[in-house]
A and B are shown apart, each in its own frame.
Chain A
Amino acid sequence: KAGVTQTPRYLIKTRGQQVTLSCSPISGHRSVSWYQQTPGQGLQFLFEYFSETQRNKGNFPGRFSGRQFSNSRSEMNVSTLELGDSALYLCASSPSLAGGPRETQYFGPGTRLLVL
């Protein structure tokens, strides 16, 4: 099976712009989670989607939003970009419903966003 794919891999934007990142989960996986990784804050959970519904949301401002499509592909959007949004954005997919201990989150390679 192909792994989690994220596009684009690298992105440069300027302050005030908006950006959309895409994540394609492993085939058959229905849950997609997003994380932001920065040197200062480390890895922080953004949100999680299942069956096109947001189930969990981290402590991020409303400029960060996401959605999931019927084929489980997910996008996240950041509006009005700030310098502090520069980060590696990681997407992870999981197969099943229950969130039990054996359910592994498989991570994609990430999208590195630089805001100038």
Chain B
Amino acid sequence: AQTVTQSQPEMSVQEAETVTLSCTYDTSESDYYLFWYKQPPSRQMILVIRQEAYKQQNATENRFSVNFQKAAKSFSLKISDSQLGDAAMYFCAYRLPFEYALNFGKGTSLLVTP
């Protein structure tokens, strides 16, 4: 079974600063997909960024980027120029190709202070 671990239950960052959220996973598969989802207080899960394991290049989406280290099974999320609207729970998730079951980590609660 694949497991996803987020070791930081809570993180805090000041507005305009940069923060990195950690995620590690355990799998014996060589091909898989990794995701970061954001869940604001409204509880609506929103996809932030995704990474295919076969791609060496780290994914970026505007202020969000990942540091994907396949050998170390690490997938961290960097948020640059943090904004108040970034405050939310962030979940790291893993999925196998051709399947739809997402395995989620326990989440990291991000607080953004003015």
Contacts and interface: CB of A to CB of B under 8 A. Distances in A.
A33 B107 contact: no
A106 B37 CA distance: 11
Main secondary structure of the interface of B (DSSP, over half): loop
A92 B97 contact: no
Q: Which of A44, A94, A101, A102 is most buried by chain B, counting CB atoms within 10 A of its CB?
A: A101
B42 interface: yes
Main secondary structure of the interface of A (DSSP, over half): strand
Given A42-B106, A42-B107, A101-B52, A94 B100 contact: yes
A42 B104 contact: yes
B45 A55 contact: no
Interface string A16-36: 000000000000000101010
B105 A42 contact: yes
A102 B50 CA distance: 8
Interface string B79-114: 000000000000100010111111111110000000
Nearest to B44: A109
B100 to A, nearest CB: 4
Given A88-B43, A107-B45, A100 B100 contact: no
